[in-house]
Amino acid sequence: MSTGRICCRQVDTAEPQESVRTAAQRMSNRSVGTLVVIDDENRPMGILTDRDLAVRVVGRGKDAATTQVADVMSEGVYTVTEDLPIEDALSRMRRETVRRLVVVRDDGSLAGIVSLDDILALLTDELRDIGDLLINEDNARRPVGAQ
């Protein structure tokens, strides 16, 4: 299965020139801990997390109203294409020690975001299906009336 099939397509974003306060309010209103920072062509250029806000804004005594997202975002966003197999995305997360990857289209524009939780949910569902299959197969082999 491809990363594009399981990624979340509704991604909350921020612009690099907006204030950290505006971005933080968006996080609060949307109940999210991550915003993908995009450029004018909808291409990811960074990620702003609630941890970035705590450490790089509050922890350093910066003014949230005047500090721009670009000044505190995590740069070097890790991206994958929509057609990348989930197993490869998981390997990339492990290699880069990140919990989420930004999914991009062939032209580099934002398509979605996939998190470790998304992959774990998928694997849990698949393992449950395998377990059900084994139980049903075992029940089908039993003679009628056997327990």
Confidence grade of residue 144 (pLDDT, cut at 50, 70, 90)? low
CATH for 3-141 is 3.10.580.10
Dihedral angle sign, alpha carbons of residues 81, 87, 88, 94: positive
Tokens of 84: 């990348």
Confidence grade of residue 129 (pLDDT, cut at 50, 70, 90)? confident
pTM of the model: 0.81
Per domain, the residue ranges of the chain are: 3-141
Q: Does residue 22 carry a pLDDT above 90? A: yes
Give the span between the Cα atoms of 50 and 41, in whole angstroms.
25
User: Per residue in 73-112, pLDDT tens?
Assistant: 998 899 999 999 999 999 999 999 999 999 999 999 999 9
Q: Does residue 54 carry a pLDDT above 90? A: yes
